Amino acid sequence: DSEEDLYVIYSLTSGVDWKDFESFSMLIRSDTFEACYMEIVGMDSGQYYNSDFNMNSSWTRIGKSFSSINSDEGNMTENPMGAENVRIQFIFAIPRISIQRALRKDGILDFSIDLDQMILE
């Protein structure tokens, strides 16, 4: 019965230099999650950007221009990422109704997250 939010974090790294691109896109779907908070971090430079998006149970194409991915210093178009060692984190808030349903059932929360066709353009 905690009032704290619970999250699932999916993290991956990219060995591609992002400075020559203008947008990021991917296909995503989930049977549980409806929204995602995305963090992009230049591991060598310390540059940090974030954005969010909505999704559903059918495949959804998410397209983010770098001008819509923000940091405290501006967006990725104004302040380009100049690192090849990039970490991307997808942070999914677990809906409270899903947690309550799992607790009433057997205490196990089953979910799926599918990512495909991650493309820098």
User: What is residue 105's predicted lDDT score, i.e. its pLDDT?
Assistant: 92
Six-digit token pair at 103?
A: 């607790």
Percent of the chain with pLDDT over 90: 66
Distance of alpha carbon 58 from alpha carbon 91, whole angstroms:
19
For residue range 61-75, what is the model confidence (pLDDT) as tens digits? 999 999 999 999 899
| 28 vs 5, higher pLDDT | 28
Gap between the Cα atoms of 34 and 49, Å rounded:
21
Instruction: Give start and end residues of each alpha helix (H) in 1-121.
Output: 96-105
Checking if the pLDDT of 1 tops 60, the result is no
Q: Give the whole-angstrom CA distance, residue 17 versus residue 86.
A: 8
Q: What is the pLDDT of residues 86-108, one digit of tens each?
A: 999 999 999 888 888 898 999 89
Q: How far is CA 67 from the centre of its chain?
A: 16
DSSP for residue 101: H
Is residue 81 very low, low, confident or very high in pLDDT (cuts 50, 70, 90)? confident
User: Which residues sit opposite 39 in a β-bridge?
Assistant: 50, 89
The domains located in the chain, with CATH, are: 7-120 (2.60.120.260)
